[in-house]
Amino acid sequence: MIYTAIDIGASSGRVMVGELKEGKLDIQEIHRFANGFIQKDGHCFWDIDHLLKQVLQGLQKVKALGHERCTVGIDTWAVDYVLLDEKGNRLREVMSYRDRRTDHTIGKLEHTLTKDTIYQKTGIQFQPFNTIYQLYEEKRELLKKTDKVMMVPDYLGYCLTGKAVTEITNASTTQLLNVSTGKLDPELLQAVSVQEQQFAPLTEPGRELGMLRNDWFPDYDLPTCKVMTVATHDTASAVIAAPGVNDSWAYISSGTWSLIGVENKLPILTDLALKNNYTNERGANNTIRFLKNIIGMWVIQEVRQQLQADYSFQQLAEEARKTEPFQQFINLNDERFLNPDSMIEEIEHYCRETRQKIPRTAGELACCIHSNLAIIYAIAIKELETITEKPIEQLHIIGGGARNDFLNQLTADMSGKAVYAGPIEATAIGNLLMQMIAAKEVKDIKEARQAVRNSFPIKVFTPKDIDRSKMIQSFQQTVLKALSKR
């Protein structure tokens, strides 16, 4: 059986095929494409038609390889959605979570519902771009015309099959799903003027969505495809492929965003979890992904685009190696770095405000970003151990960031944990594995992770003996100084 994973992130997408051979995964990337939001009329939008076109081109390449039949799963980033009328037409283009319309919405909603109330209901961390805040800012006339609110991967599946669902791992990121009942919360829906029937029925990963409607796409030579609903939130798919063993490991799903957390059976809704802004998102197999959202490689992506010379990410990491780390302490999680006009200038402003050395060269900028990401990771690991009351012995870095040896070593040094890097294509692999579990070719998540360990190289980074507590203390003091300047 051939399985096809369509994995679309905020900056790129890929189509991969895979099969299981004697307990090992054999995967092949057959199509890769760029993604990114478009600035229009003062707002940020995704080109969803471009994404659908790339999905179809990828599936056409699957058939060109000789695969007449396959199963297909789609995963994307979280929180963003499509508004459809009763005929299934989009009411407007798909707005990006990086749009600034929700900058102050958390405070607005607090007049109706307190943070504590929302957290006890959902267990979801407070991010200004969460779906609940995006819907709050929608025009009420537009919401009245809306027949369906569909998350992005569910919408792409709908375009292929005509079948509408709301997959639960992505639904949990909306901050509208009640963590106790597993259903959309009526009080939260009312607060954003949306009704439960405006969402398609909730479904779990591993369910069949429907057959690809080849007749809808006469310009493409497509295989016969059974479309499966996988863990459609890309992080949920990635965690399936995290090759951890037992309960003493954590993960960093490292891409445009870095998601750092552990896998739990039950949510953690304590005051400490709320204070540190940890989230309880649904995972595959009725698990809870207890994690924190960290800005991740977005900062280096933006810096790379703004540099005059054409550096690859690998070259930037090599340039960073030539510079002394920890020369600046910057809270990259500050909202000012979410979508600034110029990332380089924003870093310079932060350093100037806090009287720190301003990074000038490509290597200094890259080293500054990598050093501070490592510190932020280390702080989050310590928080996880405190909140969960469990020691973390191993840290698995999965996703594109797993290939960044420089950052991986800094992370090991700052956290004091052994870092295991890989697999790189964790999200697509997890997508494929979910399809294999649904097809009963793989027994369960445990067997899936064993297949990952059998199939892909995992690189180990051992922590060096450094004064990590001094670095963390300096970082925290500088963060307080930056806040006092506001």
Name the DSSP class of 15.
Answer: E
| CA gap 212, 208 in Å, rounded | 11
Q: Is 310 a catalytic residue?
A: no
Annotated binding site for ATP: 10-14, 256, 301, 400
Contact by Cβ (8 Å): 369, 306 = no
| CA gap 88, 72 in Å, rounded | 22
| CA gap 70, 320 in Å, rounded | 43
Name the DSSP class of 267.
Answer: -
Give the active site residue among 7, 185, 234, 413: 234
Inter-CA distances, 427 with 234, 349, 433, 434, Å: 6, 35, 10, 11
Residue 478 contacts by C-beta under 8 Å, 6 or more apart in sequence? 329, 330, 331, 354, 356
- Mapped onto helix, strand or coil, the DSSP state of residue 394 is strand
DSSP, residue by residue, 128-195: TTSHHHHHHTS-HHHHHH-SEEEEHHHHHHHHHHS---EEHHHHGGGT-B-TTTSSB-HHHHHHTT--
Whether residue 391 is preceded by a cis peptide bond, meaning omega within 30 degrees of 0, is: no
Closest CA to 129 of 154, 159, 99: 99
CA dihedral 365, 371, 375, 376 (to 10 degrees): 40
- Give the CA radius of gyration of the chain: 22
| CA gap 162, 435 in Å, rounded | 20
| CA gap 148, 24 in Å, rounded | 40
In 221-249, which positions are buried (b, 16+ CB within 10 angstroms) versus exposed (e)? ebbebbbbbbbbbbbbbbbbbbbbeeeeb
| CA gap 478, 198 in Å, rounded | 46
Helix (H) or strand (E) holding 347: helix 343-353
Residue 458 contacts by C-beta under 8 Å, 6 or more apart in sequence? 243, 420, 421, 422, 423
Closest CA to 394 of 415, 374, 373, 375: 415
CA dihedral 463, 465, 469, 470 (to 10 degrees): -130
Enzyme catalytic residues: 234
